[in-house]
Structure 1
Amino acid sequence: MNQKGTFMTTPTHTSLVDWTDGLGLARVTHGGGPVVALRRDGAAKARLALVEGQVFEDLPALLDAAHGDPAAIEAGAVIDAPDHQLLSPVGRPGKVICVGQNYLAHVHEGGRDTGPAHPDLFPKWHTSLAAPFAEVALPPESDQIDYESELAVVIGVRARRIAVEDAASVVFGYTAANDVSVRDFQLHTTQRVAGKAWDGLTPLGPVVVPATRLGGVRPDLAITGTLDGEVLQDDRTSSLLFGVPELLVYITTVMTLEPGDLILTGTPSGVGFVREPKIFLGRGSEFAVRIEGIGALRNRFVDEKKA
C-alpha cells in the first residue's frame, strides 16, 4: 500500500467503463477492507475501479490519480457488493461543505420571504458520514432528529477561484445525501454546527455518478425524501437558488477544493421541524433519499448502543 491509500494489483482483465444506466462509484467492504468499485443501484455484484492498474481504498485518491476524468477509470475483477457491504462512497473527504436555504420553497416554509444574498455555508467532517444502507444510531441526547434530502457534489480536481464557465472541469459527479439534523442542538446558538455535524448522522450514496451522465453542472433531477413509505419531500435539483456553478465560484473564492471534497447543496421543502404537527425520526423509522439517475439510499434509525 502506498501513501495515497492505494495498493497495486495485477488484474487479469480490464475493460472500458460503460457509464450508462446509473453506473457509479461505490465503496465496498472486500477482502477485509474498503475498495472503490463500479456498481449499479441494487446490484449484488460490482467490478473493481482501476486507474493504471491500481485499486483504491477511497475516492479522493482515485479521483486524484484519474485527474477527475471518468474516462481514465477502468473496470477490473468482479466482486460481491450487496447493499449491506456498501460504505459511504467517500470515506475521508478533506472537506464536507453544506449549503442551507437553497430551495425557495424551503426558505418559505421556514418563515422567510427571500433566500440569502450569498450561499449559506456550514461544515461537517468525515466522521459525520454514514453508509447508504446502514442502521443509523439516534442520539440519546435529543428527540428532535430531522431529515433533509440533498444532492451532493463530488469534486474531481483541485480548484481555487474558478469562473462559472469552468465549473464543468471541477465537478466529477453527484451522489445522494441525508443531512440529518439535530434540531434542538442546531438552535442552541446562531451557528448550526452542533446540530449538523453529529457523528454518523449523514448517510451518503449509494454511488457517485459522473456529472456528464446527469446533465452536467446544471442537473435537472427529481429528488424525493420518503419516510416509512410516505413521500415528504419532492422537488427537482433545477430548483436550487444557487446552482452548482455559482456555489463553486463562491466556495473557491474562500478556499481550495480538492478531489473527493463534498458539497451538500441544500434540501427541498417538507422537512419535519416546520410541519404541524412536527415529524421527527424515531426508533424504527426508515428514511429514503432517491435522486433520479443515482438511485436511493435507505436507512433505518435505531437506538444508540451503549458500549
Structure 2
Amino acid sequence: MRSGVSAMARLTRGRWTGGMTRIQLVTGGTGTTGSRIVQRLQARGEQVRVASRSSECVLDWADPATWDPALRGVTGVYLAYAPDLAVPGADATVAAFTRRAAAAGVQRVVLLSGRGEPGAQRAEQAVQQVARGTGLACTVLRCSWFAQNFSEGQFAEAVAAGELALPVGDVVEPFLDADDIADAAVLALLDDGHAGRTYELTGPRALSFADVVREISAARGRPVVFRSVPLAAFRAELAGHGVPDDVLDLLAHLFTEVLDGRNSRPTDGVQQVLGRPAGELADHVRRAATAGCWT
C-alpha cells in the first residue's frame, strides 16, 4: 500500500476532496477515443493534459524519460497504448507506466483494452496488479472494433474510393461507437464506483464487414464494394506501400485471431456503465455521411 504521505496527498489533491484543481492526462489524446475524451472533459470544466508523440506534452512509450513530465500533477489517466496492447512487451510497458503514475500521485487510471486478445488481457492483469499494490483505482474498458475505423480510421480512404478489400470473410463483429467509449471513460475518470471494474463494451448488433459496407453505401447514396482477399495478398499489397513488418504482423494477428468469431457476441457493457443502450452503427454512418467523411 502507499505510504501515509501518499495517502494524505490523495486526500488533499483534486476537486472532489477540497476544491483544488485536478488534472486529467489523456494519452493518445489526438486519436479516435482520446480526442473525444478531451472534448468531453473540457466541456465539464476539467483541466486536461493531452499527451502523445506529436502533442505539446510529448509522451513516447519507447522513451520512459517522457513519462514523468507528462504525469506531473496529474490525478487521473486515460491510458491508451499504441500501437496495440497485443504487441510483444506492451504489458511490461504499461505496468511500468502505471507504477510511475502511482508514484506521481495519480489516483485513477482508465485502461483502453481490446476484446479477445491474450496480449491485451496480459496487459490488463499487469496494470491491475500494480493498481492493487499501490491503492490506485483502475477501470478497464475492453472494447470491440470501432465503428470509426470505417469513417476516420484505417479503412476510411478505401471506403471513400468505393472498395474495401480485407482478409476477412463472413465473421461478424459488434462494432462499437467511439463516442460510447469516450462517455464511459469520462465517467470512470470522474465518478466514484468504477474502480476495480472491467467493462466489456460492444455495439448492439453483430455485423459482417460486408454488412457494414452495405450500410455505408445506403447512408452516402453511392455504392461501396466489400471484397474478401487472402491474407498473403493483403500483406503483399501493404508491404508494397512501405508498411513495416511489425505492423503487418499485428494486422495479421487481428484479422486471423481476433476476428475468428470469438468476439461475435454483443454485450450490455455500455448499458452497465452509461445506463443507456450502445449506439447503433447505422446512426454513426448516417452522421459520418452527413459530415462528409467519405467525400
Question: TM-score, normalised to structure 2's length?
Answer: 0.29
Compare the two structures and name the one with the higher strand fraction: 1
In the superposition, the TM-score normalised over structure 1's length comes to 0.29
Identify, as 1 or 2, the structure richer in helix.
2
Bigger relative contact order (CA 8 A; separation at least 6): 1
